Amino acid sequence: AAAATWTVLGGTSLTREARTIGRALTAGDLTAARERLPHLCGRDPSALDEQQIARAVVESVAENTADAVVNALVWGGLAGTPGLLAFRAVNTLDAMVGHRSPRYARFGWASARLDDVAGWPGARLTALLTVAAAPEPRTAWRVWRRDGSAHPSPNAGQAESAFAGAVGVRLGGTLQYGERTEHRPVLGEGLRPVGVDDIERACVLSRRVGALALGTTVAGHLLLRAALNRKRRYRA
């Protein structure tokens, strides 16, 4: 169980990569930041400026806090080690072939939809815990409830909108993935644009959310086991 948990959880590597990019931007080394960004997300960094890279990093930290930390803990709490490994398999399959392409059109669709189903509970829990960990919980709650469903992904928008409100920044907008351009709704309309310093704020928030998720899922697992034991004793 310990080995599976260490393998599946990605919170430490997530914030490490984000902070590496943040340090490059702080030093004014835009080339290094562009070279490092593909370690964190699938966007084309070649034409991104400092602010756009910072926005990409904050959005990736938000989305992957749900995928690499909270969702894994949720499924581990529900199904133990098999749940941890099964969720990581589903999430990795979506990352590999979940995007539409001529080669993986139907196979990729199935992978993406399975990941949507598996990620549904953890995405909502991530948003709730982000509100709880936010410096201004009311703003995080308002932005989440208003913008969480505007994102084209049924799950990513939950975490990203809550992070937008918690950090106090505006996320979303036009994104470039190779030759494909996406125009996504703005999350946190009326808030300020993302700055380089917001990368560290997002990382700190991610770690807080991860700690809350660990406590929540362990408590839930213990309550579930206690309920099952009571049910077995009753039947006996």
Higher pLDDT residue, 67 or 181?
A: 67
Token pair for 28: 């004014």
Task: Give CA–CA dist 131/126, Å, rounded.
Answer: 9
Is residue 5 within 8 A of residue 22, CB to CB? The reply is: no
Can you tell me the distance from the alpha carbon of 113 to that of 126, in angstroms, rounded to the nearest whole number? 19
Residue 62 CA to residue 169 CA, distance in Å, equals 12
Question: How long a stretch of residues is the chain?
Answer: 236
In this predicted structure, what is the pLDDT of residue 36?
A: 95
Write out pLDDT tens, residues 135-167.
999 999 999 999 999 888 889 999 999 999 999
Using CB atoms within 10 Å of the CB of residue 174, give its burial: 0 to 12 exposed, 13 to 18 middle, 19+ buried: exposed
What is the β-pairing status of strands 192-193 and 169-177?
A: parallel
pTM (global) more than 0.85? yes
pLDDT tens digit sequence for 21-66: 999 999 999 999 999 999 998 788 888 899 999 999 999 999 999 9
Q: Is 134 helix (H, G, I), strand (E, B) or coil?
A: coil
